[in-house]
Amino acid sequence: MKIIDILNKKTMSLSFEVFPAKKESGLESVHKATREIASCRPSFMSVTYGAGGGTSKYTLDIARDIKEAYGIPMLAHLTCVSSDRATVRQRISDMKEAGIENVMALRGDLTPELEASDPATWDYRHAVELVRELKESGADFCIGAACYPEVHPDSRNQKEDIFYLKEKVDAGAQFLTTQMVFDNNLFYNFLYKLREAGVTVPVLPGIMPITNARQVERAIKLSGSFIPQRFKSIVDYFGTDPDAMMQAGIAYATDQIIDLYANGITNVHVYSMNKPQVAKAIMNNLSAVLGKDFGR
Ligand code: FAD
């Protein structure tokens, strides 16, 4: 099933993100965790693509496994900047063969080696080129792309970032998922600016349930996201008690999701990070909110 068809329904959607194993030795535990998350029956699941593309096979394996075992629509991520054109074309062909219908087209982060090299030698510089490559592949993929309510760190300003975001949408991205946001107002303001700029596709806020104190530092380092004082207080108070922090982090994320739905944002994406207990608790917290028609 195409994800755009789920997003365009009037009913609410909730999706979960998982990541592949980094090494062969981690395959079994990742498959177990992703299957448990799938058993919560989210509207769809996304599988990330390891930086540099080293785990591409595992991304496809998980996507295929969940789709076949649970019939859940899958979104496979793909990055381009650290790959050459032949490799990217091979990945696209593998996806087609695996029956993947939905692809998240990403640039990927710049590695220190890439940054030290001449961009003129790269086959891809921006995600928009991957969107075009996917469109030209002849497969009828539903394509998603990334966006940044707090501005991508490579951008000079938000206006420029949104200009290039629109280019991705005009090239064929049918929906957008945001970098993690901990303050819904940042998302609402961003959405307003996107609509003003003529970006009309569905935009999914990305919600990251923070369930331990160390994760906060990692999340800020990775995403540069703003952490509201309200959330900092939770970490200050409960951060040293793992069970209390887990419960408080899930409650905070649940609260964000309910606020989004209550403000007419029908599609929400959760960075569930291979944690079945987090996915289950969120689903449970929202059982009545999502209603009977959810995910059908
Ligand atoms: P782009 O869209 O190429 O944007 C990157 C920067 O370039 C921005 O500043 C943009 O404004 C600018 N830009 C874009 N087009 C142009 C242009 N034509 N000319 C000049 N400037 C331009 N990384 C992974 O490795 N694997 C994953 O699975 C993964 N999943 C992600 C999922 C989501 C929802 C998000 C938000 C990020 C994800 N990332 C992932 C991280 C992502 O790869 C990085 O944030 C990366 O630095 C940018 O990727 P992008 O696709 O947004 O790039």
**Max CA distance (Å), the chain:** 54
269 CA: nearest ligand 1 atom:
34
* The pLDDT value given to residue 96: 95
* pLDDT profile of the chain (296 residues), mean per 10: 96 96 88 96 96 77 94 97 96 94 96 93 97 96 98 97 98 98 98 98 97 85 88 93 96 98 97 96 96 74
Domains and CATH numbers, the chain: 3-289 (3.20.20.220)
Q: How far is CA 268 from CA 6, 43, 88, 104, in A?
A: 12, 10, 29, 16
pTM over 0.95: yes
Q: Which of 81, 107, 151, 175 to mutate to test the pocket of ligand 1 (most atoms within 8 A of CB)?
A: 107
How far does the centroid of ligand 1 lie from the alpha carbon of residue 237, in Å? 35
Residue 56 pLDDT: 80
pLDDT at 213: 86
Distance CA 39, CA 242 (A): 25
Q: Which residues are catalytic?
A: 17
- Could you identify the atom of ligand 1 that is nearest to the CA of residue 179? 36
